Amino acid sequence: MSLQGSAPATAAPTAVPRRGRVLFAAVAAQSIEYYDFLIYGTAASLVFNTLFFPSGSTLTSTLASFATFAVGFAGRPIGAAIFGHIGDKFGRKPALLAAMLLMAVSSTLIGLLPTYGTIGSGAPILLVVLRIAQGISVGGQFGGSTLLALEGAPPNRRGLFGSLPQLGVVVGMITGTLVFLLISNVTTSDQFAAWGWRIPFLLSVVMFPVAYYVHRYLEDTPEFHRAEAKLSARKSSAPRSSVLRVLRHPKQLLLVAFTFLPATIAFYGIVTGVLHYATEDLKISKDTMLAVVMISMIAFAAGTIGFAFLSDLVGRRKVFAAGAAFSGAWAFVLFPMVETRSFPLILLAVSVGQFAVGAMFGPGTALLAEAFPASMRYAGSSLGNQLANILGAGLAPFIMVALTAATHTTVSVSAYMAASSVVSLIAVPLVGVATEETAEEPTRVPA
């Protein structure tokens, strides 16, 4: 299902090489961005509670650590607004480039940050500031990488091309997990706590060569230039700021956010929440759970690409809704299987859960993009996605720990995840598909 009102670009002899460059850069940027962002979640689960938030209560320290994890998501809408404006006004490429550089700097500085034992209360304050900077970066990066891929795709393959940058989540997650596994196996517990945890953050310097590649070799999308020309030629009372234009349609923005809610909750709930529950409450080894999370990313990748391809054939909404429904139901199977402490069952539980998440992430990128016209697509898709993340993913690990502690059962956590799926199933049929001509009033289009 292609975006209405957007004609495909005229084919050129260099179209295929350009697409290859764009996809490579989009996946690489997404990989490093999510590597940086997700290693924070791993560190928050394993060491930040004691290094930056020492307390007489383990629960209090853990909640404080996960609260800073959530703070990063609070920065995402800020990044979506800042880079959304840049991306819609000046181009997808400069916005993506600026977001990448911000992530590289902030992540590297986290790796150099003194702990509470060295500088006292200044340590958690600086950690929060850098975490917010990470969130701002991710909030801006999502739109750049996905729109460069999607807007350069053939009209009947937008779902597939738009999903390919999501492979960066897989690459980043697997890379981050491998780095943590390697470091934890070559260091003692004391060495890991003293300096080993810093290495994954310091490796973020590889972002700089990728940023140079984007600057040197990528071009902006023809669809951006067409939208820019149309907007300049059309006399309209609408604000020129794409962020303000998006905010004039809060219903569409909220529908997009509620649609994507269970994808964010399930993904981070499994990656971070289940990791903490298994290692802290069930006393399953850290290496075992990191290996499970890493392997499950293969299932996530398969679900993302497979269901994105399917969405080009049968429609975004049908595929996304099926993924949301299954994910909500699987939440009640996930924790009992983890509680068996059997490696094969834990791996199966987490992998199936991530496969279901892929069924939402796959068609979700194009679904979010198609909800907004090209002239405000960077801001709209970014704000919608990041609003879902701050309402869902950012709070998910914190809520999971709090619910488990309050109810002494994971059934409450499963109910929380399932409730988000119900919200999505209500919202997804109502999300409209917008064109430049209908930009002031997005229309409802059936699946």
Alpha carbon separation from 180 to 285, 299, 400 (Å, rounded): 13, 20, 23
CA 184 to chain centre: 26
Over its length of 447 residues, how does the chain's per-residue pLDDT go in tens digits? 333 333 334 334 444 446 777 788 788 878 887 787 678 877 877 778 788 877 766 777 777 777 777 787 778 889 989 999 898 888 888 888 888 889 889 989 999 999 888 898 888 888 888 988 988 988 888 888 888 888 877 878 888 888 888 888 788 878 887 888 888 889 888 888 888 889 988 988 888 888 878 777 777 777 777 776 666 665 555 556 888 888 888 888 999 999 999 999 998 888 778 888 888 888 888 878 878 988 898 999 999 999 999 999 999 899 999 999 999 999 999 999 999 999 999 999 999 999 999 999 999 988 988 888 888 888 888 898 888 888 887 788 788 888 988 998 889 999 999 999 999 999 999 887 655 544 544 444 434
Which pTM was predicted? 0.76
Q: Read out DSSP for 114-156?
A: --HHHHTTHHHHHHHHHHHHHHHHHHHHHHHHHHHHHTTS-GG
Instruction: List all residues 6 or more positions away from 319 whose beta carbon is below 8 Å from its beta carbon.
Output: 307, 310, 311, 359, 362, 363
Q: Rounded to whole angstroms, what are the CA distances from 99 to 142, 153, 374?
A: 9, 23, 20
- 120 token code pair: 């006292």
The structure tokens listed for 374 are 């090209």
Residue pair 242/376 in contact (Cβ under 8 Å)? The answer is: yes
For residue 255, the surrounding DSSP H or E stretch is: helix 250-268
Give the chain's domains with CATH numbers.
17-226+239-444 (1.20.1250.20)
Q: Rounded to whole angstroms, how far apart are CA atoms 215 and 376? A: 23
Quote the longest CA-to-CA distance of the chain: 66
User: How many Å apart are CA 76 and CA 67, to the nearest integer?
Assistant: 15
